[in-house]
Amino acid sequence: MRALHGNWFFVAVITTGLVGSWGLIAAIAKKDPGRWFKVATWIAIGAMLVQVALGFLTYNAGFRPQDDFHLFYGFVILFTFAFAYVYRAQLAKRPALAYGLLMLFVMGLGLRAWANV
């Protein structure tokens, strides 16, 4: 479980980074990101939620990170997604910019969690 959590980190951070970059590029170019951007956004959100779930399962299995900030960033990722869900109507007004920034923020949180292992 610990190895899966450690390896899935790369999947979660790379997908959120790619989708976030895609969203910002589309927003700067003032183009509609299209249906595939929505699909990619949900895949990136799912990948990061799987990462957080694996972290909680790893913690429950008895493996503890050296620094408690690692856990803090996992909780912040969950709260970030919860707030994004609550404000989804406002995010839908400019989806490329909003979800692009959201994904890059979550990617940064994942990187900070990894730095505090």
CA–CA dist 3, 22 (Å, integer): 29
Check if the beta carbon of residue 68 is closer than 8 Å to that of residue 15: no
Q: Distance (Å, rounded) from C-alpha 55 to C-alpha 73?
A: 11
How far is residue 88's CA from residue 102's CA, in Å, rounded to a whole number?
11
- pLDDT the model gives residue 68: 85
Q: Confirm if 100 and 21 have CB atoms less than 8 A apart.
A: yes
What pLDDT was estimated at residue 50? 97
Q: What is the pLDDT of residue 117?
A: 79
Instruction: Read off the pTM.
Output: 0.93
- One digit per residue, the tens of pLDDT, for the chain of length 117 reads 889 999 999 999 999 999 999 999 999 999 999 999 999 999 999 999 999 999 999 999 999 888 889 999 999 999 999 999 999 999 999 999 999 999 999 999 999 999 987
Count of structural domains within the chain: 1
Domain carrying residue 13: 2-115
Distances (CA, A) of 45 to 5, 28, 39, 61: 16, 22, 10, 24
pLDDT at 67: 83
User: What local confidence, expressed as pLDDT, does residue 59 receive?
Assistant: 93
